[in-house]
Amino acid sequence: MERAKGLLESSFLSVKEIAFQVGLNDESHFVRDFKSTYGFSPTSYRAHFKHHNNGNSNGDDLDHAPGGTQSKLRQQLSQIAKQSILPTLHLAVYVASTFDWLS
């Protein structure tokens, strides 16, 4: 469930894709287990997480060492590409969404 939580926070994967990634082929079973663990359905958790973390960060959570931002972004892009069933699409959406964040 920790891995599923992390994927909900950091990826654009659907709930069904996340269930598959964590080894559950039955989406309803995954939703029920996730909700019993965290008190939210996966969809509600993602919305809650995005709402409370979107726009509230001013970049203070980034590594400010030389190349830190680029290194962190590169790691995130690599993680998304490895976890996604459709890596090119998810990667393109993620890259597009980071342009506003980087400026």
Report residue 85 as tokens: 């069933």
Length reported for the chain: 103
Q: What is the average per-residue pLDDT within 66-77?
A: 64
Q: What is the pLDDT of residues 39-62, one digit of tens each?
A: 989 999 988 888 888 644 444 443
Q: Model-level pTM greater than 0.85?
A: no
Q: What is residue 101's predicted lDDT score, i.e. its pLDDT? A: 54
* Choice between 46 and 65, residue whose per-residue pLDDT is larger: 46
Average pLDDT, rounded, for the chain:
74
Burial of 16 (0-12, 13-18, 19+ CB in 10 A): middle
Q: What is the pLDDT of residues 80-93, one digit of tens each?
A: 666 655 556 665 66
